[in-house]
Structure 1
Amino acid sequence: MKTFPFIFNEPRQFLSSLQGKEWADFLLGEINPRFSVTAIKAKVVAVREETADAKTIVLKPNWLWKGFRSGQHVPVTVEIAGRRVTRFYSLSSRPDDKLLSITVKRQKGGLVSNFINTNIKKGDVLELGEATGEFVLPKTLPSKFLFLAGGSGITPIHSILKQLEANQFKGKATLLYFVRSFEDIILRSSLEEIAKSTGWLEIKYIFSDVPKEGYDSGFLTKEILQKYAEDLKSYSVYVCGPAPMQTKALSLLEGNEIKSELFLLPGQTSLKVKKTGTVDVFLSLSHKTIQVKGERSLLEELEDQGIYPQSGCRMGICHTCVCKKAVGSVTDLSNGEVSELGEENIQICVSRAESNLELEL
């Protein structure tokens, strides 16, 4: 049973709390959970199993959805144990589809990815934000594409391939998809349908953990690139996958036109260090001081103490967790740089405490 979204002790307090948009949202939600004047709500119309640990969630958004470009990602908010949690997922559908979809792979330690795979079902309603990201097609298409995908990094690339198909692309595209085993190939039937119907897409699966006869094994190498993409300099390259794969690709393809979308598994932004003692973090908006070890990101260490600041991607991309640091020094985990002691905005998901801090939280 739903309750009013207000807490009050006297009628006067209740009347003063009646903000038009919040009240309208409550009433509209009683009529249809997808209705809202403030938030992008999307009803789950289908859930498709892609692999043993990945599912595609098909969504019908409300009228506040502004659309997206192939290759972009979207913030998805769910409620877990009474707490609203947001993560970013790439859209796997193409922009002119009537419905949109995200494809989510379980990650070890991934709070939201595991929740979505275990709990989300047809009829549920998710809250979305606006789509963002620059991992998109250029206005003028090149004649040759090389797509390098690792694991769930296939998701935005699948969207781009669907868009090229819709655009009746006439050039050539090669997809090298690095994945643990044949059973771990995400969106396989759709990828192969695109290749079959278009003729311009060549797909090569490379298995890192479980070899399969007739397929290459291992990781990204110069030899693999040269085997499937002659004259590398002539390709426009798109790379999406784990950090080690992306680092390798950028070094092997120096001089190419490259677009990249980095995704990190939980903990990969935490350059693990051991420290003795603690540092004080004063949260000026909450009027409280806590102690942290300064061994992991501020976001993680705050959450360990039951403090849950707004956050999204947890890897320094979305800027949802930006807050003002008034005093103190932090290390940027994305590049290892140590900040000055003065006032600046920081991303707490990729910042580690180096000294006593004052944060606007």
Structure 2
Amino acid sequence: MKTFPFIYNQPKEFLKFLQPGDWADFLLGEINPRFSVTTVKAKVIAVREETADAKTLVLKPNWLWKGFVSGQHVPVTIEIAGRRVTRFYSLSSFPGEKYLSITVKRQAGGLVSNFINQNIKKGDLLELGEPSGEFVLPKVLPSKILFLAGGSGITPIHSILKQLQANQFKGKVTLLYFVRSYEDIILHSSLEEIVKAAGFLEIRYIFSDVPREGFDSGFLTKEILQKYTDDIKSYSVYVCGPGPMQTKALSLLEGNEVKSELFLLPGQSQLKVKKTGTVDVFLSLSHKTIQVKGERSLLEELEDQGIYPPSGCRMGICHTCVCKKSAGSVTDLSKGEVSELGEENIQICISRAESNLELEL
């Protein structure tokens, strides 16, 4: 419970404590935990198991929720072991539905994805941020659309397909969904319902690990594209899946109109190295110096030492973790490029220390 601050070291802390929005949130929360004047809080009204390692959370947000566009993602904040943690998840519902949905697949080493799958239940509250992302349909729809999905990359595509169904789309849509096995198909029943209800959609499941009679096996190839599309240059293409799949897709679809949403497993964006010794990182706002090895992202190495800067997607998309680097050099793990030594803004989730650093943290 919030208590009155009789003693503070600095006046600004006292004034911050007296912010009317914070007090209103506290009082409203005593009436109903979902009530707030500053924060979008969403109650979990249902939990659906999609696969052995993926669940859909159906959410009822409070009045502050302003809506979203199919294909966008949203920051989701939960408390784990007394620490607020934020991750970005694509909305798997579409705007015309009564409630929101996010579909979360467990990731190896994924703090939040594992916590959600293991612990979140009906009645729990989540905090939502403002939706964002450009993985959305254009105002003027193309006549032919090709979706390429890999694993949990199906979630924003599912939202878009539901939107096309609601809009009674008259064109042609092909979905090639690359997944490990038949049992790993996420949102399977909903996808099949769209196929039955809408005449525009054809879905082909391609299994990478466990072959199944009557289905293709393997990964994205030129042959697969040719097999299920007529005149590939005439399609608008949407790609959402792991990094290697996206790289392959972009190389095969050169010349096409392609929108992509990168889905990375933990560590996929990292250029793994082994170093000897440490480098000093001076945190100018905290007035402390720590030592890191420079083998992983700055975000991970800071968290290892109990320092938790704001972060979201952890893959260089959301820019929540941007901070100013006043001095020193880092490697951009998404590009493999080494920065200059001077002042610049960096994303610490995809930056690795190469020399002594000064960060505005």
Name the TM tier (shorter chain).
over 0.9
Residue 251 of structure 1 is matched in structure 2 by: 251
Instruction: Give, in whole Å, the separation in 2 of the partners of 1:319 and 1:61.
Output: 24
After TM superposition, the score normalised by the length of structure 1 is 0.97
Partner of 1:180: 180
Instruction: Classify the secondary structure of the residue corresponding to 2:337.
Output: coil
Aligned 1:334-345 pairs, distance under 5 A? 334-345=334-345
| 1:249 shift after superposition | 0.5
Query: Given residue 58 of structure 1, which amino acid in structure 2 is its aligned partner?
Result: V
- Give the equivalent residue in structure 2 for 1:360: 360
The residue matched to 1:331 in structure 2 has which SS?
strand
**Alignment deviations for residues 76-127 of structure 1 (CA, whole Å, 9 cap, x no partner):** 0010000000000000000121110000000000000000001001100000
After TM superposition, give the deviation of residue 274 of structure 1 in Å.
1.1
Aligned to 2:216: 216
Encode CA deviations 1:50-85: one digit per residue, 9 max, x unaligned. 000000000011111111100000000010000000
Separation (CA, whole Å) in 2 of partners of 1:121 and 1:302: 31
Aligned residue in 1 for 2:2: 4
3-state SS in 1 of match to 2:303 = helix
**Matched residue type, 1:180:** R
Question: Once the 2 structures are TM-superposed, how far is the Cα of residue 130 of structure 1 from its aligned partner?
Answer: 0.4
Counterpart residue type for residue 134 of structure 1: E
| Aligned residues: CA RMSD | 1.4
| Aligned AA (2:2) | F
- The equivalent residue for 2:197 is 197
Instruction: Kindly indicate whether residue 20 of structure 2 is the aligned counterpart of residue 23 of structure 1.
Output: no
Q: Does 1:331 align with 2:331?
A: yes
Aligned to 1:286: 286
Deviation digits for residues 16-62 of structure 1, max 9, x if unmatched? 53220100010011111111111110000100000000000000111
Q: What is the alpha-carbon distance in structure 2 between the residues aligned to residue 200 and residue 311 of structure 1?
A: 39
Query: Residue 112 of structure 2 aligns with which residue?
Result: 112
What SS does the aligned partner of 1:65 have?
coil
5 Å matches for 1:64-103?
A: 64-103=64-103
Kept in 2, the 8 Å contact 1:5–1:26? The answer is no
Question: 1:292 deviation in Å?
Answer: 0.5
Length-normalised TM-score, structure 2: 0.97
Partner of 1:298: 298
Give yes or no for contact 2:77–2:128 (8 Å, CA) kept in 1. Answer: yes
Residues 5 and 273 of structure 1: CA distance in aligned 2, closer, same or farther (over 3 Å): farther
Match for residue 272 of structure 2? 272
Helix, strand or coil at the partner of 1:173: strand
Question: Who is 1:133 aligned against?
Answer: 133
User: CA separation in 1, counterparts of 2:182 and 2:5?
Assistant: 53
Contact 2:5/2:14, CA 8 A, preserved across alignment: no
Q: Is the 8 A contact 1:298 1:349 kept in 2?
A: yes
One-letter code of the match for 1:355? S
Give the letter aligned to residue 18 of structure 1. L
C-alpha separation between the residues in 1 aligned to 2:235 and 2:177?
16
Q: 1:8 & 1:309 partners in 2: Cα distance?
A: 28
Structure 1 residue ranges without an equivalent (≥5):
none
Q: What residue identity is the alignment partner of 1:338?
A: V
CA drift at 1:5: 6.0
Q: Structure 1 residue 6: deviation in Å?
A: 5.5
For 1:238, the equivalent position in structure 2 comes to: 238
**Distance apart, 1:275 and its partner CA:** 1.1
Q: Distance in 2 between matches of 1:132 and 1:15?
A: 34
| Amino acid across the alignment from 2:141 | L
Q: Letter of the aligned partner of 2:33 in structure 1?
A: P
1:154 is aligned to: 154
